[in-house]
Amino acid sequence: MTPEHNSARHDRDSVADVALALLDEVGLADLSMRRIAARLDVQPSALYWHFSSKQELLAALSDRITAPLRAVADDVLPLARRVRDALFTYRDGAELVLSTSALGLGSSYAQSALEEALRRAGADDPQDRAVALMHFILGHATLVQQRMHADSYGAASPAAGDDATAGLDRIFDLGITALAGSARSRSAA
Amino acid sequence: MTPEHNSARHDRDSVADVALALLDEVGLADLSMRRIAARLDVQPSALYWHFSSKQELLAALSDRITAPLRAVADDVLPLARRVRDALFTYRDGAELVLSTSALGLGSSYAQSALEEALRRAGADDPQDRAVALMHFILGHATLVQQRMHADSYGAASPAAGDDATAGLDRIFDLGITALAGSARSRSAA
């Protein structure tokens, strides 16, 4: 086996595929380079053929999570719901996209699509509003996703029960509509 | 030394003091019960005299971080800025309060103060709006705090540089004002 063949045994895409499946299994806190490498049956150092750092690998995962939003043309509220649902697709997806975005890494498919939707709706400050919408969506989705995960193994307090979760969709819609601004409200009316 | 004396060597407050100082040093991901116990020079099991779980200990830290907001009477925007700044006081403070809130644990000093401010301003749906404001503040503050930390050791991409951070206060104010609703805008005008 030539070194060339060896380094080509996995490409960026196949490493990201495996890492994303592992994220869904173990969660972000336990997604180590060592663990990804073990799953691929390679040494951790082999991952650095494809990604210069763990952050760069996480950014690739963030791009995969948000890729369904790429150039989606929709009104602000249904688009925002699609962003939220894309974040929910993988365990800790919202937290991963939030962290990647905090470091200025990864693509901004979701934010760009929201900015375009705001422009079409005639909102003032579409660029700033798109960032504010992303901060709200990421905060909301991270919180809801952690609560859902805790509920799934019974760790949440009774105070975070049915009553608390039932209102979350209503709060999401209220937040999105308010942040989209008055022009958006007009066009929705 | 009697067992009574032994268990009373540290009380809830002194454990929380040490844990909060350690959070600031090592960050949330590395704040383990083992590490807190080592700092206190006790066995990890001794911590469970005072806190039934790590989550309960984290909830106590969350309460300490948000305690300065308890019953603060102020207008929505200055109050929201105080909430953000309280989250910034300790490393990963925003992420810790977000996780605690996701599990329905801890007190809701910040949310209650925001709800009261919205009521005074005559906002409609003050209860839902206070939750939406918290989701925005927690998402925004978690993202900004992770970026600031990355900047402090040069890990952020150049794309997340001065330009990106300079606009964050403006985006925060825009988000808060929009989420506070029209009644708030009237009272601010």
Mean pLDDT value across residues A130-139 = 98
Is B129 in CB contact (< 8 Å) with chain A? yes
Kindly determine whether residue A102 and residue B164, on different chains, have CB atoms separated by under 8 Å.
Answer: no
More confident residue, A25 or A7: A25
- Look up the pTM and report it: 0.90
Kindly determine whether residue A102 and residue B159, on different chains, have CB atoms separated by under 8 Å.
Answer: no
Nearest to B150 among A102, A136, A139 (CB): A102
Domains and CATH numbers, chain B: 1-51 (1.10.10), 62-188 (1.10.357)
Nearest residue in B to A101, CA atom: B143
Gap between the Cα atoms of A77 and A53, Å rounded: 35
Split at pLDDT 50, 70, 90, the class of A10 is confident
Residue A157 pLDDT > 70: no
Is B142 in CB contact (< 8 Å) with chain A? yes
Taking contacts as CB-CB distances below 8 angstroms, the residues of chain B near A174 are 125, 128-129, 132
Length of chain B: 189
For A38-82, what is each residue's pLDDT tens digit? Answer: 999 999 999 999 999 999 999 999 999 999 999 899 999 999 999
What ipTM describes this predicted complex? Answer: 0.89
Split at pLDDT 50, 70, 90, the class of A152 is confident
Nearest to A160 among B103, B174, B179 (CB): B103
Mean pLDDT value across residues B30-37 = 95
Helix/strand/coil (H/E/C) assignment for every residue in chain B: CCHHHHHCCCCHHHHHHHHHHHHHHHCHHHCCHHHHHHHHCCCHHHHCCCCCCHHHHHHHHHHHHHHHHCCCCCCHHHHHHHHHHHHHCCCCHHHHHHHHHHCCCCCCHHHHHHHHHHHHCCCCCHHHHHHHHHHHHHHHHHHHHHHHHHHHCCCCCHHHCHHHHHCHHHHHHHHHHHHHCHHHHHHHC
Q: What is the pLDDT of residue B186?
A: 46
For A21-42, what is each residue's pLDDT tens digit? Answer: 999 999 999 999 999 999 999 9
Kindly determine whether residue A157 and residue B99, on different chains, have CB atoms separated by under 8 Å.
Answer: no
Residues 36-55 of A with CB under 8 A from B: 55
For B113-171, what is each residue's pLDDT tens digit? Answer: 999 999 999 999 999 999 999 999 999 999 999 999 988 877 666 555 555 566 899 99
Taking contacts as CB-CB distances below 8 angstroms, the residues of chain B near A55 are 155
